Structure 1
């Protein structure tokens, strides 16, 4: 909940800064005195208002898996934005590394930590942008949406072991006993010319 409120406060500040700059530009271009005054920045008030709002929701509705997923995604986005702001970095490698750090801390209810660790142990997969959906780790060659959707996926099997599935035109690449073997198989079946993830979407690849 705290991360969600912080994300809302961050977005508020971004919009406030944009409005402040626009207001300043308007005053400079207007040939007469204007009476419009910007209200002071109230980041903490906004944060507390969202805390209260989310707390009220949780009192009425118990969090479902989808709500927890949304919260984790929001938390991840907030952490990445905070790190980029603190470091002043827009470098793709820094964005990817920050997202990996966030996902490595995800609650086990969202994804098995062993799956994330096994993927992260593969140097080539560390360079791809990670996302989590319904307990499955998705890796993309870009940081934005739409994702590249061309990196093989690993699915746990009910009978034990793991299945590695490629893109729709390649089908199942194999079934292995351990998650480490599964991501090793992913690493050797990356798309042709696959390199580190880029800032952008699949349309920019």
Structure 2
């Protein structure tokens, strides 16, 4: 009888222990589940914040890109307008007027070329500006100031038109190509004039503009 009672008591305690352990496991599982859910929620919030920051960065960069492209288009318009506002004629135009037009066009090109994003186009326009500047002091080989200004206008229009259509920049137009090919000689003559005047200035490469 006592043996049966003892066995019953053991079974009851075993049942109780099993229930308690099961409850603890259940509570532990709930706690782990809540912790996991909390971590997932935190990660989701972090991912959302990172996505929002990435989107904001992209939006800012896109805005800046559009702003630079808009400024580039404005620069091209200003350069073309400079030739219209300060015309240069091959004949029947006083030399003083030609030189004034060259100087004014040079100011516009020298400033606006900095906003041209296309590196090849920017260097070509910097070169045009350089020769116009030299033409004002009569140092572009055998070409007169009026001839340099006229050819520069045609070259610039050609370059800008191709740029606007998204085409590759070709060789220069006839006449301007000869000026470009004589650049080393023209540069040398200009440096000699600078040294003769007691100056030590060296013309920087156009690629830095």
Give the TM bin, normalised by the shorter chain.
Answer: under 0.3
Structure with the higher helix share, 1 or 2: 2
TM-score normalised according to structure 2 size: 0.25
TM-score (norm 1): 0.25
Pick the structure with greater CA Rg.
2
